Structure 1
Amino acid sequence: MKLLLKWLLSAAALLCVAYVYSGVAVQSFTSALIAAFVIGLFNVVLRPVLVVLTLPVTIVTLGLFLFIINALMFWAAASVLDGFHVNGFGAALLGSLIYSLLGMLIESALGGLFTKK
């Protein structure tokens, strides 16, 4: 149940990013659902590999390179999907930052909602 709710709220967060920032465009809620799924899939499959491969750069930049990796995942999802568009890497960077902040709020809210007693 928590996973389904997180997916729906992540799609809503993606629509919110598109509303707040003009560099990101989402055509519909269905497109947002698919995009949230693909971004999540990329973050589970590709992101750990990229983090390990770029570990020296990440250490030298004190972890700031992880923002670049997040932007790459966001941009890659937009390049694979129809109905989800990002206007270049700068837009992907800012869009992924906003999306990550909203994702942290969602995780915090769901953590409080689904606490084990």
Structure 2
Amino acid sequence: MKTFLKILLTALAVVVLATILPGITVTGYVTAIIVAVVISLLNMFVRPLLIFFTLPATIVTLGLFLFVINAVIILLADRLVDGFAVSGFFTALLFSVLLSIFRSALFSLLKENKKSINN
């Protein structure tokens, strides 16, 4: 249930960012849910491989290369999902940074609600 809720919150963040940022288009809510699932799967399987193979660049840039990896994940999701379009690399970079911020804020609200229910 928690994973399903996180995917829905990520889809909500994708829809909000698509309306705010120029260069990002999402055709509908179902597409946003599919984008959230694809991004989650890419983060689970592809991102660790990219981090491993680009470890020297990540170390030299003191971790800033991870932003590039996040943008590549967004561009891969663009290629895999019909109805989701990203206009370029820098748009994907900004989208990935803002998506991370939105997700952390939404997930922290989810954790606070859980704490208040248990106490």
TM interval, shorter chain, is over 0.9
For the Cα contact (< 8 Å) 1:2–1:110, is it kept in 2? no
Structure 2 unaligned spans of 5+: none
Equivalent in the alignment of 1:17: 17
Is the partner of 1:25 in helix, strand or coil? strand
Equivalent in the alignment of 1:110: 110
**Which letter maps to 1:88?**
G
TM-aligned CA deviation for residue 113 of structure 1 = 2.3
CA–CA separation in structure 2 for the residues paired with 1:95 and 1:24: 8
Is the partner of 1:3 in helix, strand or coil? helix
CA–CA separation in structure 2 for the residues paired with 1:100 and 1:37: 15
Equivalent in the alignment of 1:66: 66
Question: Runs (4+) of structure 1 moved beyond 2 Å?
Answer: 113-117
**TM-score when normalising by structure 2:** 0.93
TM-aligned CA deviation for residue 88 of structure 1 = 1.2
**Which letter maps to 2:19?**
Y
Structure 1 unaligned spans of 5+: none
Alpha-carbon displacement from aligned partner over 1:26-78 (angstroms, at most 9, x marks no partner):
01000000000000000000001111111111010010000000000011001
Equivalent in the alignment of 1:94: 94
Equivalent in the alignment of 2:77: 77
Percent identity between matched residues is: 44
CA–CA separation in structure 1 for the residues paired with 2:35 and 2:41: 10
Count of matched residue positions in the alignment of Structure 1 and Structure 2: 117
For the Cα contact (< 8 Å) 1:15–1:29, is it kept in 2? yes
Taking only aligned residues, the RMSD between alpha carbons, in angstroms, comes to: 1.2
**TM-score when normalising by structure 1:** 0.95
For the Cα contact (< 8 Å) 1:2–1:114, is it kept in 2? no
